[in-house]
A and B are shown apart, each in its own frame.
Chain A
């Protein structure tokens, strides 16, 4: 079986506009939750969000490209370019057919859709912009990266709500492992700050009126986020052969479905996905020193996730550092898993576990070591990253540290 490693990382989100900024913010426990920029913010029950700050599309794209790319697709492209640059990988000859792109996205071009329908329904105009369809489609980011790097192999997008990018990255892992391809650009992106979509979240009554406090007694819900993150995956042999920096081994992937309720989570479903990821990675619970939790900060998630971790890890559960970095970059839905995979890999590589920010008071029902407010120097051997979606779909990634001297 081929071993798969991560050699490139790219990210743009509220916590930082590239990998270095992102990791510096996470290590400092600095939250990217800020007042919403949208002009209708006063008409919403929640005033805050985790939006990408200081973003100018023209710093990244030609005007003609901007016309074709919704914000979510731009984030995929920005993160994908950074990951490729970071890895130093080159796509020439046969590598172009032997590299996959698998991205996750929950809702596609929300702001494009909103703007088009305002023209139609509100302003009474007879037509919408002809680029509306290519901007809305959830695969727009993947298709852009395919063209940008001339990659002609398997390119597709997975949509499973908040687990989208974990499902995408898991698929890419298995495609390389099986020999279908030799490398992949994989992750996800999302840009959801349109008034219509924010109103839809308001109606769900799960968004916090102040900030995101995962696992904290006084948590009041999630904070919506946006962004993109991408990983470059390749085989261990190929990475070693070209002397690439290895962030860690992408050791396993597990998924499950609750088969229970469209929004209420179970303990059994997430536990089954965690267990499956460990088995796929050939990992016992003990080497796992860090879990990047789904940790949305809702009343329901944080309790069931705590129970699911306890169900799988037993006595070892209390020795695992578990943090939710959503406290700093918000819940980026279809991009969440990818952003959190970057955090998890940086934790493995840097020997620092990022904290759960905004934490105020312990909740006896969330009695794990949640690394409150301050990062911790701690070299873990293996780490998991959880994503549990509405619809009861669970996807968990397992990463292992590449021991020094092995490359």
Chain B
């Protein structure tokens, strides 16, 4: 994953959670950051808007760390670019 993508994702999470971006690293877990299930869906909403992706519910349930989240979003973006005609 490119660095600028990860930074953009971290900025987005920091803004949603009202915490400094410096506190978040790619290896932070949701637990360390105090992110509960409701915060989680808030972040998914922000990321869907930020990156123009549609994150399915079953994928969202398995995400437990920032890395999981970044990889998931990045894969969705790649899949979307591979199929420009798809919705």
Contact = CB atoms under 8 A, between A and B. Distances in A.
Interface of A: 45, 203-205, 207, 209, 220-221, 261-264, 299-300
Nearest to B44: A205
Given A203-B45, A205-B44, A45 B37 contact: no
Interface of B: 36-38, 41, 44-45, 56-58, 60-61
B57 A203 contact: no
A203 B41 contact: yes
Contacts of A300: 37
A232 to B, nearest CB: 39
Contacts of B56: 45
Contacts of A221: 57
A205 B57 contact: yes
Given A45-B57, A205-B61, A262-B38, 14 more contacts: A203-B45, A204-B41, A205-B41, A207-B57, A209-B57, A209-B58, A220-B57, A220-B58, A221-B57, A261-B36, A261-B38, A263-B38, A264-B36, A299-B61
B83 to A, nearest CB: 18
B19 to A, nearest CB: 18
A220 B58 CA distance: 9
Contacts, number: 26
Contacts of B36: 261, 264
A204 B44 CA distance: 10
26 contacts: A45-B56, A45-B57, A203-B41, A203-B45, A204-B41, A205-B41, A205-B44, A205-B57, A205-B60, A205-B61, A207-B57, A209-B57, A209-B58, A220-B57, A220-B58, A221-B57, A261-B36, A261-B38, A262-B38, A263-B37, A263-B38, A264-B36, A264-B37, A264-B38, A299-B61, A300-B37
Contacts of A299: 61
Contacts of A204: 41
A209 B58 CA distance: 9
A205 B44 CA distance: 10
Nearest to B55: A205
A407 B69 CA distance: 63
Nearest to A209: B57
Contacts of B58: 209, 220
A258 to B, nearest CB: 14
Nearest to A300: B37
Nearest to B41: A205
Most chain A beta-carbon neighbours within 10 Å: one of B41, B44, B57: B57
Contacts of B44: 205
A221 B58 CA distance: 11
Q: Which 4 A-B residue pairings sit nearest by Cβ, starting from the closest?
A: A263-B38, A205-B57, A205-B41, A205-B60
Contacts of A205: 41, 44, 57, 60-61
Most chain A beta-carbon neighbours within 10 Å: one of B37, B56, B58: B37
A300 B41 CA distance: 15
A264 to B, nearest CB: 6
A145 B38 CA distance: 38
Nearest to B54: A45
Contacts of B61: 205, 299
A21 B25 CA distance: 57
A49 to B, nearest CB: 16
